[in-house]
Amino acid sequence: MIDIHSHILPGLDDGAPDLQESLEMARIAVNDGIHTIIATPHTLNGIYLNSRSQVLARTGELRAAFAKDQIKLKLFPGSEVHLNLGMAEKLFSGETVALNDNQRYLLLEFPFHSIPPGAKQEIFQLQLKGITPILAHAERNYGFQQHFEQLYEFVGMGCLVQITAMSITGDLGRETRLCAQKMLECRLAHIIASDAHSATHRPPILSLGVKKAAKILGSTEQAEEMVTARPSAILAGEKIVIPEPEQPVKKRWFFLF
């Protein structure tokens, strides 16, 4: 399996605080059947600012540490970019780094409480430069939980959607689990990732989420594609063909008199 969302680089954000934790996370990932991870530290979110050069350097250092400890895990650079103005320019100027540094896929994080009004405009600007945004853990966003039909619109305009394994298993709360389930049922989730932050509370484990997703989708093959073929295409910067999503039914209110 390939994990495209992980805070495994030490000391860059609220993920692994030091090298020991990074190595422990790597061992857990390998144990779970993960052979490749993209390191995606937070950036441009008003707290963390991790430049392309910084991420590339830290990725190189952690790769060397894996080799020294004989940990068989491939590591690639990336970042989790908070939605903000001028993201495309920031990518091309080196202020930040796309997934596997290939200027093709960007892991994009919305604020947790809302869907900002200018989001579609900013996404369109990325698309004009040939960059496909991947919405990070949309199931955890309160805006999508309340206005699920909006996710269909973002997918319709060409976004991919990443869902977090622990959301599917119910470890991140009921609302998040229900939203994750609905996303899978409507084919509005395309990639499963761990969003791992530590070896203990948020570990890099995909298998449990994939197993549950297979039940919801009624297909092991489709669930596995979300951690194999699609992430592999993202790494290679290749196009991904997604299934036609189902249009979600809008909430209706009935009043009895």
Contact residues for Fe ion, defined by CB under 5 A: 80, 195
Minimum CB separation from Fe ion for residue 53, in Å?
A: 21
User: Order of strands across the sheet with 74-77?
Assistant: 2-6, 36-39, 74-77
Give 80 or 122: the residue with its C-beta nearer to Fe ion. Answer: 80
Q: Would you say 139 and 167 are in contact if contact means Cβ atoms under 8 Å apart?
A: yes
| Among candidate residues 123, 105, 122, 112, the one with its CA nearest the CA of residue 190 | 105
Minimum CB separation from Fe ion for residue 80, in Å?
A: 5
Q: Would you say 245 and 155 are in contact if contact means Cβ atoms under 8 Å apart?
A: yes
Minimum CB separation from Fe ion for residue 246, in Å?
A: 27
Minimum CB separation from Fe ion for residue 190, in Å?
A: 17
Q: Which residue is nearest to Fe ion (CB)?
A: 195
Contact partners, residue 187, CB within 8 Å, separation at least 6:
242, 243, 244, 245, 246
Give 121 or 203: the residue with its C-beta nearer to Fe ion. Answer: 203
Separation of alpha carbons 24 and 16, rounded Å: 9
Minimum CB separation from Fe ion for residue 41, in Å?
A: 9
Cα dihedral 13, 18, 24, 30 sign: positive
Minimum CB separation from Fe ion for residue 204, in Å?
A: 12
Give 48 or 152: the residue with its C-beta nearer to Fe ion. Answer: 48
Residue 99 is encoded by which pair of tokens? 């997934």
Amino acid code (one letter) for 154: F
Give 54 or 162: the residue with its C-beta nearer to Fe ion. Answer: 162
Buried b (16+ CB within 10 A) or exposed e, 227-241: beebbebbbebeebe
Separation of alpha carbons 176 and 166, rounded Å: 9
Give 49 or 217: the residue with its C-beta nearer to Fe ion. Answer: 49
Q: What is the DSSP letter of 79?
A: -
Give 112 or 124: the residue with its C-beta nearer to Fe ion. Answer: 112
